[in-house]
Amino acid sequence: MSKKVYVGMSGGVDSSVTAALLKEQGYAVTGVYMKNWSQDLPGFTCPWKEDYQDAKRVAVQLGIDFKMYDFETEYRHKVVDYMVAEYQAGRTPNPDIMCNQEVKFKLFLETALEDGADLIATGHYARVKDGQLFTGLDSNKDQSYFLYRVTENALKHSLMPIGELEKPEVRRIAKKLGLATAEKKDSQGICFVGKVGIKEFLLAELGPQPHGPIVDQAGKTIGEHDGALFYTIGQRHGLDVGGGLPYYVARKDMKTNTVYVTTNLDDANLWHKEVELENVHWINVEPEKGKQYQVRLRYRGPLVDCELRGNKLMLKDEQRGLAAGQSAVLYDGDRVLGGGIIG
């Protein structure tokens, strides 16, 4: 009997083609729409109903079973509340990483297995082999950075077929099969990332924030901010302090509600050669001490040579504008080892 695969179908082209490929490969495929967020925000209507209908249309076209899992409560608790708390602490979290860890490769996996599935599948641009995670073949679309907190056990129960393809090929397959989502623009995932800026979302969640001083490298107050939590280390735009050289956010003091800026790109606060990691997670085994690896310190950031010493990364070259709360993801060639949260 063929293995049962539950495919997370978001209503986008990537997960649609994932379901089509797995059906072609002989799996018994069931499409599942995960309802994670449905709340409208000021000036923005959440498109979850439209996405659900698109996913359902594709399932009908492919002749596969289709269902919806409602994870809204857990998503709010595990992803949104975490994200808001991190911003309130003055950090810059990555909700997509937490969503993969807690919802897609934990809650969805557990629910699907209990429901009779042998495996789950997602439309991620990454590759899975024997419980190990590798980069997607399309380096422009590679999503392995967002998946570094997934466990070996979850990967052993997961398929990511489009990780072997380039994005234009995925579109081509969707068009060839006449899938309803073939021409659909790529979604920004969750409602409040993309069309709704993070600032607008935090304002909707938390209300207006206390204003405070923006202080330059000479200790002079040069402006006023509308909430320290809205600012990220290294940020250059949106400071509204005019004239002369551009200012960069160098650090924040949440206790005194102060944002410190500098025009000096050589400011010591902006550059790091050592990175302290928190909440470290290794997918298979801990990396070897003293061996050279590569680390990505933000999505689409460059790969930087490094060594791991305890929970500290020693970078070969100094890097600018590292934000606490972001993730540092360690690679050995095209294999993802894991990583941690930048402290």
In angstroms, the CA 136 to CA 334 distance is 9
Cβ-contact 59, 213 below 8 angstroms:
no
* Residues contacting residue 74 through CB under 8 Å, at least 6 positions apart: 102, 103, 107
306 is catalytic: no
User: Which among 309, 329, 328, 305 has a CA at the least distance from the CA of 318?
Assistant: 305
Active-site pick, 80, 179, 190, 191: 191
Cβ-contact 233, 271 below 8 angstroms:
no
Beta pairing, strands 28-35 & 65-70: parallel
DSSP annotation of 93 reads -
What are the angstrom distances between the C-alpha of 267 and each of 207, 247, 298, 339?
33, 11, 20, 27
Active-site pick, 9, 99, 173, 190: 99
User: Which among 299, 307, 289, 290 has a CA at the least distance from the CA of 328?
Assistant: 299
DSSP annotation of 58 reads H
For residue 28, the tally of other CB atoms under 10 A from its CB is 17
99 is catalytic: yes
User: Which among 165, 164, 144 has a CA at the least distance from the CA of 155?
Assistant: 144
Buried b (16+ CB within 10 A) or exposed e, 275-297: bebeebbbbbeebeeeeebbbbb
- Rama region for 111: left / alpha / beta (φ>0; ψ in -120 to 50; rest): alpha
Which of the residues are catalytic? 99, 191
